[in-house]
Structure 1
Amino acid sequence: MTRGCKDLVNEFSYTLNHRRSTLHFKAPPATFTAHALQRLVEQQGSTKRISAPLDCTRSALFTKRQPLDSLKKKLRVAFGGSKRQGLNDWVIEELVNTAEAHKRGARVAPLIGFGYSRDRLGLMDDFIIITGLLAGYTDGWKWVSANPKQVETLIVSAFELLHSLHQQGVSHMDLWAANVMLPDELPAPAQAIDLENCFCRPTEFLSETLGFQFGFFYFREIYRFITEARYDELVDAALAEYPGIDRERFTPCYQLSKHQHVGRKDRRTVFLTGQLKAG
């Protein structure tokens, strides 16, 4: 595994083994939690990613199970290889980023455990991440779909969350409505989920990165609920929290990201180089 993963293996030193699965925790889980996790790993493998609360209401945990669908991916995850540009596979990025962001005090669900299952040949078959369940929260896409006239409440909450993450040195490059968890009792602060496309370090290209992030939030469905002119006004107000932003560098990324899909790898290029090209 990667160095970050190896550090987590040392930190999460207690292992729960069941059949061909190994799960890592900081301390032994409660008996009812262990039984629920055993039921989870006993489920037949799927070719699709599964994200759902653990089948145990007393545990208050959320699980993600990601199939490793190629031999190259299985070997990279098992032995710490990287893809192009030195990047880890997305499942490892999410694991390491979630742990680091929570350690910094960022508003994300805590990492509780992680692990993997092996196939009959001993190769990693899938990877599992276990976090705390954000009870009393609703994802922003479901929330705004039910409350379309209150879209500005979601936007303002998301922009405040974005600024909070940046203050902790966390750049979330997939922050759209569904990855913003709104509390059922406002005005408590929102929390972020799905940190696979994320950097836990400052960027040298904050103006361009913010341009993408604000534009992307509009492009991913929010445009359905608000005029572009009004959204621009809310962005202008939010930018007051970022002194020193270069508008000449911000605006091209912002305008492009508002109207065009930007792939996951291209988002990382914005963070790393400040470059965002029209497709």
Structure 2
Amino acid sequence: MLPFWPSKNSYTGCAAVREGKNKLVDGFPFTFKHQRSTVHLNAPVSTALAATLTLLLGQERPSNRTSAPLSTGDSPLFAKRQAIETLPKRIRFTRGTRKSCGMFDWPIEELINTTEAHRRGASVPGVVGYGYTRSRMGLMNDFVIITELLQNYTDGYQWILAKPEEVERVIGAAFELLLSLNSSGIYHMDLWAANVMMCNDGVGATHAIDLENCFAAAPRFLSETLGFQLGFFYRREVGGLVGESAYDALVARALETCEGINRERFHAVYQMAKHHHIGRKERRDIFLSGRVVLG
């Protein structure tokens, strides 16, 4: 039994996994320990990786969230380490329980969703492992996710800042990625330009990152969900770099490939998402109920 959860059946990883078909914990059978830290990995720990993890886990606990590539001498990796700030969160992480709304905390959601998306063949970095550090009282103080490093990639936001003339290229790549994820049953509710990783030489596939606010299930309200996704992409930075009418034309072209979309319901949410802030929790309301609630 892994120390993260009270039993192997108490935590199961994303949509299909939660139904008992697989167990997230079974995918990371190798363990590395350093002082009060534990990391669960999907492959045996090499000498180089052990040295790198020792350095990572020996660092001072982050005040919030840190992320950086890991130099392992093996396959390049990327680590995202999140401080667990409050006592209720530490208790939930330690017990492997959900919040009152039925969700896990964001780092756990990211681990679950990224693992499931990669399992389905979606264009996301593979998860190599995850870990945590416990306090002297046995509660978790921080949580780390380790993924494959996307070498020779630039996020879409940095791309368009450096090459503003290529904004429509980034938008097109993002739309193709978004629709590909959706077709795999992965609905990213925080897909903005910085979460779209573009291959520098144009050879590799475009990838999505930061899947904490994501669903691995078919939406009951597909039109509203897609309306939010495409409207949100415009609002987060892109709207200042491309004209709204030009963006609308790109959206209309993308919609031609989408089946089963109610245009009236789509546009009601799309227009709102383009011009209003919609918080993380409210985005999940759109997916689950089709309702838009502005904070």
Name the structure where helix makes up a greater proportion of residues: 1
Give the corresponding residue for 1:274: 290
Report the secondary structure of 1:85's partner residue: coil
Give the corresponding residue for 1:27: 43
Give the corresponding residue for 1:90: 106
236, 250, 271: which one aligns with 2:252:
236
CA–CA distance in structure 2, aligned partners of residues 248 and 73 of structure 1:
40
The amino acid that maps onto 1:95 is: L
Q: Contact 1:61–1:133 at 8 Å: present in 2 too? A: yes
Is residue 2:154 matched to residue 1:154?
Answer: no
209, 212, 223: which one aligns with 2:228:
212
Q: Normalized against structure 1, the TM-score is what? A: 0.97
Is residue 2:3 matched to residue 1:3?
Answer: no
Report the secondary structure of 1:50's partner residue: strand
Give the corresponding residue for 2:18: none
Q: Contact 2:277–2:294 at 8 Å: present in 1 too? A: no
Q: Contact 2:62–2:81 at 8 Å: present in 1 too? A: no
- Written as runs of structure 1 = structure 2, the 5 A alignment for 1:1-279 is 1=5, 3-4=11-12, 7-56=23-72, 58-186=74-202, 188-279=204-295
The amino acid that maps onto 1:255 is: Q
CA–CA distance in structure 1, aligned partners of residues 230 and 118 of structure 2:
23
CA–CA distance in structure 1, aligned partners of residues 35 and 51 of structure 2:
13
Question: Identity, % of aligned pairs?
Answer: 51
CA–CA distance in structure 1, aligned partners of residues 96 and 137 of structure 2:
19
Report the secondary structure of 2:141's partner residue: strand
Q: Contact 2:111–2:145 at 8 Å: present in 1 too? A: yes
Q: Contact 1:163–1:241 at 8 Å: present in 2 too? A: no
Report the secondary structure of 1:4's partner residue: coil
Q: Tell me by how many angstroms 1:277 deviates.
A: 2.7
The amino acid that maps onto 1:4 is: T
Report the secondary structure of 1:138's partner residue: strand
CA–CA distance in structure 2, aligned partners of residues 189 and 235 of structure 1:
21
Q: Tell me by how many angstroms 1:48 deviates.
A: 1.5
Q: Normalized against structure 2, the TM-score is what? A: 0.91
The amino acid that maps onto 1:3 is: Y
Report the secondary structure of 1:84's partner residue: coil
Q: Which sits farther off after the overlay, 127-136 or 180-189?
A: 180-189
Q: Contact 1:140–1:177 at 8 Å: present in 2 too? A: yes
Report the secondary structure of 1:125's partner residue: strand
The amino acid that maps onto 1:142 is: Q
Unaligned runs of 5+ in 2: 14-21
The amino acid that maps onto 1:169 is: G
Q: Tell me by how many angstroms 1:91 deviates.
A: 0.7
CA–CA distance in structure 2, aligned partners of residues 60 and 107 of structure 1:
17
Say what the alpha-carbon RMSD is for the aligned residues: 1.4
**Per-residue displacement from partner, 1:64-114 (whole Å, max 9, x unpaired)?**
101111111111111122113211100110001011000000000001001
The amino acid that maps onto 1:108 is: V
Residues 187, 14 of structure 1: alpha-carbon distance in 2 compared, 3 angstrom cutoff: closer
